[in-house]
Structure 1
Amino acid sequence: MINSVTIAGYIGKEPEMNIYGEAVKVTFSIAVNTVIKGEEKTSWIPVECWGNQASFVGNYLHSGSYVIVQGKLEQSVWETDEGEKKSRLFVYANHIESPKQGNREQGTGNGVKGGKKGK
């Protein structure tokens, strides 16, 4: 089965970083705009990343940064204290790049890369 997602858009609120022992997790949402019957609609796509990807986002990207995210669709399922079942879908990122940054930097599963300064 194939579970592959690529989305591009702008980061909404400032990414949130959480540290669990030595593991780093960053969550953020991307605004993806589409036009349906002449009307623009914004969808907010939640993204989660760990390790090197999380370090890249935490160090280089902020609210308003343009990003391209590749990853897979994941579902989180839990039960509230009242016994109500909840779930949410999000993109688990395994590759994030920000081509509109002054430094064409990108994070990959193998580490954080930096490129030469470009336009």
Structure 2
Amino acid sequence: MADINHVVLVGRLVRDAQLKYTGGGLAICEFSLAINNRRKQGDQWVDEPSFFDVTLFGRQGEAIQRYLTQGKQIGVDGQLRQDRWQTPEGQNRSKVVVIANNVMLLGGAGAGAGGGSGEGGGFGSSRSDREGSGGSGAPRGGGGPGGDDGFGSDDFPDNIPF
């Protein structure tokens, strides 16, 4: 069985994203995401935040960095990577970071409405982009009236047993 390394997170940015470049010109966009988990403590619900460092490489990071401001709600689709290093004192350290494949801006019109940054039809793309339906939103494969799958018609029997 193959190993799986996939993570999807939705949270708010802790601070504005930082953009830097490698010596070879590769863009690296780094930001931190806070995600609240709610749990009951006694009679009250309390929020327990978890913080995740996220790295987004390439043109996608360059394009979206200016929209990644503190407090903005975003969705991240990616994978986990464990960075390991040794301190000058000889102590071994490690940190888990999220390597983003796609980032999606969430929230209302003020939060970049319609703004996904997924290149190639990924996490930030719309359904019609992925289906190639020309924006009609209609399912492919004969789903209309008279189609063979029966989902495009309102002719459902009234005696459904559930």
Q: Please indicate the TM-score interval, normalised by the length of the shorter structure.
A: 0.7 to 0.9
Q: Among 71, 82, 90, which residue is 2:89 paired with? A: 82
Helix, strand or coil: the match of 2:15? coil
Aligned to 1:43: 50
Structure 1 residue runs without a partner (length 5+): none
Cα distance per residue 1:22-61 (max 9 Å; x no partner):
1110111111011112221111111111102311331322
Helix, strand or coil: the match of 2:117? strand
Give me the whole-angstrom Cα distance separating, in 2, the residues matched to 1:26 and 1:50.
Answer: 6
| Matched-pair contact (CA < 8 Å) for 1:8–1:68 | yes
Which runs of structure 1 show a deviation greater than 4 angstroms over 4 or more consecutive aligned residues?
Answer: none
Q: Which has the higher contact order (CA 8 A, sep 6+)?
A: 1
| Matched-pair contact (CA < 8 Å) for 2:67–2:112 | no
| Matched-pair contact (CA < 8 Å) for 1:75–1:87 | yes
Question: TM-score w.r.t. structure 1 length?
Answer: 0.85
Percent identity over the alignment is 27
| Matched-pair contact (CA < 8 Å) for 1:103–1:114 | no
Q: How many residues align?
A: 114
Aligned AA (1:26): C
C-alpha RMSD of the superposition? 2.1
Question: TM-score w.r.t. structure 2 length?
Answer: 0.64
Give me the whole-angstrom Cα distance separating, in 1, the residues matched to 2:72 and 2:30.
Answer: 14
Aligned to 1:15: 17
Radius of gyration: which is bigger? 2
Q: Among 76, 80, 83, which residue is 1:69 paired with? A: 76
Helix, strand or coil: the match of 1:108? coil
Aligned AA (1:36): R
Aligned to 1:57: 64
Cα distance per residue 1:64-101 (max 9 Å; x no partner):
11100000011100111111111000110001001322
Aligned AA (2:36): N
Give me the whole-angstrom Cα distance separating, in 2, the residues matched to 1:110 and 1:53.
Answer: 11
Give me the whole-angstrom Cα distance separating, in 2, the residues matched to 1:114 and 1:39.
Answer: 34
Structure 2 residue runs without a partner (length 5+): 127-162
Q: Does 1:24 align with 2:27?
A: yes
- Flag the structure with higher strand content: 1
| Matched-pair contact (CA < 8 Å) for 1:6–1:69 | yes
